[in-house]
Amino acid sequence: MQADSIVLGAGIVGVSVAIHLQMRGRATVLVDRRGAGEETSYGNAGLIQREGALPRAFPQGLAALFRYGLNNRTDMYYHPDALPRIAPFLARYWWHSRPDNYRKVVNAYAPLIAASISEHAPLIELAGAGDLIAKEGWYLLYRDAGERDAAFREAEWLSRDFGIGHQQLGGDEMVRREPGVGAKLAGALHWTDPWSIREPGGLVVKYRELFEGLGGTVVTGDAMRLEPGTSGAGWRLPLAVEVLEAREAVIALGPWAGDLTGRLGYRLPLEVKRGYHMHYAQPEAQPLRHWMLDASYGYLLAPMVRGIRLTTGAEFALRDAPPTPVQVDRDEPLARQLFPGLGKRLDAEPWRGARPVTPDMMPIIGPAPRHEKLWFAFGHAHHGMTLGPATGRLIAEMVTGEQPFIDPAAFSAARFL
């Protein structure tokens, strides 16, 4: 089978890359070992985070490190036996999160995050997926006045410097907007720009259908079999009954990207922040209407198609270690206090996924530094659903030699080599 481009991985990032390549006239084959949008892009909180200009930094200061070290929190949990392996990564993550370094990251990241909604919007339209999208922003709920005030100050700065919309609400106003809230609140922050997805995996499926409608091909295969083309040019991928050959290949394997780039000789600092979700029945009276994060505890409640989805904060562990949904168990009583109508559990077991992370909190988007016609698109951490389409456009523009819509230099893998 011959193609112009192979895209490896059919999560939100790979599907978006494939659409943008196909739209530019590249005959593209999208490869996954599963169906589209069945891994990390299935289980997330579904926020298209236009406000996400501040990527999630590592805690600074001894007091914060001590608090997290106790491992009894809800927003972060770690496997002590994973620490020897991930400690070098955490040290680099901490270093990039120091105020001076972090400011550089924020400035480099801003143009990409600014394109989050403007790049999703045309794909949602073309895919006919508007019914999966809510456009009412999302809410951070504060139980503590000090935390509320700090958040309001930061939001004012983001509005001023990055043009991000927000509203500051009192606790009573929040309860008026979301009448099922039962906890006493000090206030709430409403990010007004973001959109949210009522079924993230469903949106990826709609995007895959769009890709096929544009003439693209989807096949099942094992990305780990990618190898240089026999004539010394391009790439080949043995499938079950034939061999796929193409001029260029894009690695968009999310948390598995490092397995393939490692085989190709790259030592990239890639780890994961695992996360869980559980669905709960909606109450008949006063169902949850908005996406809202309990800011003091770091879990989020989202009104999804299947019910109320509770998503957890980060878990530092080896990607394939057995699940330890400690945070779901810690979050659930807090969620029942915040939203007393939360119904019974709907899933037999919590879903587990792994956010693919880099130590400087930014994705890797661009050419493979030591291979011709090989491209990287992974490491989107907390913002993969947000940045899939912007990444797709950026990669496709670089592949086809167009002028990229933003400067891609900050996202190059070369920064780690």
Chain residues that interact with ligand FAD, rule: CB under 6 A: 9-14, 31-34, 38-41, 43-47, 49, 222-224, 252-256, 275, 277, 311-312, 353, 355-356, 378, 380-386
Residue nearer to ligand FAD on the CB measure, 57 or 224: 224
Q: In this structure, what token pair is assigned to residue 254? A: 């999310």
Residue nearer to ligand FAD on the CB measure, 166 or 382: 382
Residue closest to 29 by CA, chosen among 200, 229, 208: 208
Quick check: helix, strand or coil at residue 235?
Answer: strand
Residue nearer to ligand FAD on the CB measure, 248 or 315: 315
Residue closest to 328 by CA, chosen among 316, 345, 343: 345
CA 89 to chain centre: 19
Q: Which residue has the tokens 């895959």?
A: 208
Residue nearer to ligand FAD on the CB measure, 40 or 296: 40
Residue nearer to ligand FAD on the CB measure, 180 or 255: 255
Give min distance, CB of 285 to ligand FAD, in A: 27
Residue 111's identity, in one-letter code, is P
Give min distance, CB of 61 to ligand FAD, in A: 26
Give min distance, CB of 272 to ligand FAD, in A: 9
Residue closest to 335 by CA, chosen among 284, 382, 274, 279: 279
Q: In this structure, what token pair is assigned to residue 171? A: 């606790």
Q: Which residues contact 212 (CB under 8 A, 6 or more apart)?
A: 218
**Contact of 174 with 5, CB cutoff 8 Å:** no
Quick check: helix, strand or coil at residue 241?
Answer: coil
Residue nearer to ligand FAD on the CB measure, 180 or 258: 258
CA 4 to chain centre: 28
Virtual torsion, Cα 292, 297, 298, 300, nearest 10 deg: -30
Give min distance, CB of 91 to ligand FAD, in A: 23
Query: 392, exposed or middle or buried, with CB in 10 Å at 0-12, 13-18, 19+?
Result: buried
Residue nearer to ligand FAD on the CB measure, 182 or 269: 269
The Cα-based distances of 199 to 68, 160, 206, 385 in angstroms read: 32, 32, 11, 11
Residue nearer to ligand FAD on the CB measure, 45 or 186: 45
Residue nearer to ligand FAD on the CB measure, 182 or 289: 289
Cα–Cα distance between 168 and 176 in angstroms, integer?
Answer: 14
Q: Which residues contact 21 (CB under 8 A, 6 or more apart)?
A: 4, 5, 7, 28, 250, 395, 396, 399, 400
**Residue burial 266-279, b: 16+ Cβ < 10 Å; e: rest:** bebbbbbbbbbbbb
